[in-house]
Amino acid sequence: MAQADISRSAAQAPSAMGAFRALQIDPRLLGMIGALLIIWIGFDVLTGGLFLTPRNLFNLSVQTASVAVMATGMVFIIVMRHIDLSVGAMLGVIGMLMGWMQAQVLPDLLGFGSWAIAPITVLFGATVGALIGAGQGYVVGYLGVPAFIVTLGGLLIWRGAAWWVTSGQTVAPLDANFVVLGGGLRGTLGAEWSWMLAALACAATVALIAASRRRKIARAFPVKPLWAELTVGAILLGLIVSFTAIMNAYDVPQRAAERLYQSRGLTLPEGMILSHGIAVPVIIVLIVAVAMTVIARRTRFGRYVFAAGGNPDAADLAGVDTRKLTVKVFALMGFLTAIAAVIASARLQSAANDLGTLDELRVIAAAVIGGTALSGGIGTIYGAILGALVMQSLQSGMAMVGVDAPLQSIVVGVVLVVAVLADIVYRRRVGD
């Protein structure tokens, strides 16, 4: 009987392993998710159940947004075998310029409280960011100065420039419509719109999975078994629904809800409870993630970036203009940094010259923890966003536990080194 049980277990083991392989889930992705769950559960125990609450998870999603947006651009930078140390300082100067525009320039031109102040400010910031990034990319690509030196100089230049915009004075308050983009009380969707967005996301997920499967079959490419496709789809739908339910479980305080209704000239119905729902910064991250994934996988530009990073000499021989490509990648990084500056300054409802301090390290760490290889050619957008979430979870959890700031930096540094080491070991084993 024992021998029969052993034989049966041995026969079942390969089928279970084969079933897992049929799902075609990246092992590194599972590792990051596992690490994130360990971090969350550990801090939840240490804080007496305060970490895994709708309120804290809502705040965590908003706090992660600006770094996550920049991390998607840093993936392209590192894939191209470059680095950008200036993104934190660039965020600071762009945030100060946008604050100066909406507080001192645009109200005189358009009138105080004009609806056009916010969109013009965002457009202005995005243009400045793209120009700064393109300028740094030109020096790297066409003049041949190493990106490390160019962006290290940029770190010093733009941090100093952020002070000169308003002589070090903090700009506040910012335009009311602009502040919505930071995810405050007015910067959320509420329960109904959040569920509508979740339904749209679920429908899009199903449609994309089905379209991808049909496309592979039409081109005679190998496809997952149908059960594996359905399992992956069910997991994704479950994550979307669960996230939305958690965000909707965070109720708006009653007094804040009353003030919100009063600002609209309405009275809050007795007994009515408002939910925050999904925050606007999270929606921005979602849009950026989808756009950057499409760029990486479906456009010539994205294919050239990964080809040039994987083998620059071969890319040159194939006719890829790597110098021009470098300018475009840094311009994209500057544009995304401007979007992050919008989120960061709007969340704080002010612009200070120290905005974005040390964000360059958090962004690089997020991209590397997310699986982007420093040797170039390898990286994913979803990995970078997950890496940003891991970084912010560590910082938020340690702050809640009461860990001193210097020790927080030590822990983050150790995690970064361990993550790179684990990635190197993994790639060696896969290569073998």
For every one of its 432 residues, what pLDDT tens digit does the chain have, with 9 covering 90 and above?
Answer: 445 444 444 444 446 666 667 777 777 788 888 889 999 999 999 999 999 999 999 999 999 999 999 999 999 999 999 999 999 999 999 999 999 999 889 998 898 889 999 999 999 999 999 999 999 999 999 999 999 999 999 999 999 999 998 888 899 889 999 999 998 888 999 999 999 999 999 999 999 999 988 988 888 888 888 888 899 899 999 999 999 999 999 998 888 777 777 777 777 777 778 899 999 999 999 999 999 999 999 999 999 999 999 998 888 888 899 999 999 999 999 999 999 999 999 999 999 988 998 899 899 999 998 889 888 888 999 999 999 999 999 999 999 999 888 888 888 888 878 877 877 777 777 664
Residue 69 to residue 289: CA distance in whole angstroms: 8
Bridge partners for 251 per DSSP = 275
Residue from 42, 337, 44 nearest 162 by CA: 337
Question: Across 1-43, where does the E strand assignment appear?
Answer: none
CATH 1.10.287 fits domain 28-187+279-431: no
Residue 372 to residue 396: CA distance in whole angstroms: 24
Domain extents for the chain? 28-187+279-431, 188-278
Q: What 3-state DSSP class applies to 251?
A: strand
Q: What is the pTM of this model?
A: 0.92
Contact 171, 341 (CB under 8 A): no
Q: How far is residue 217 from each of residues 20, 206, 210, 223, 229, measured CA to CA in Å?
A: 21, 17, 11, 7, 13
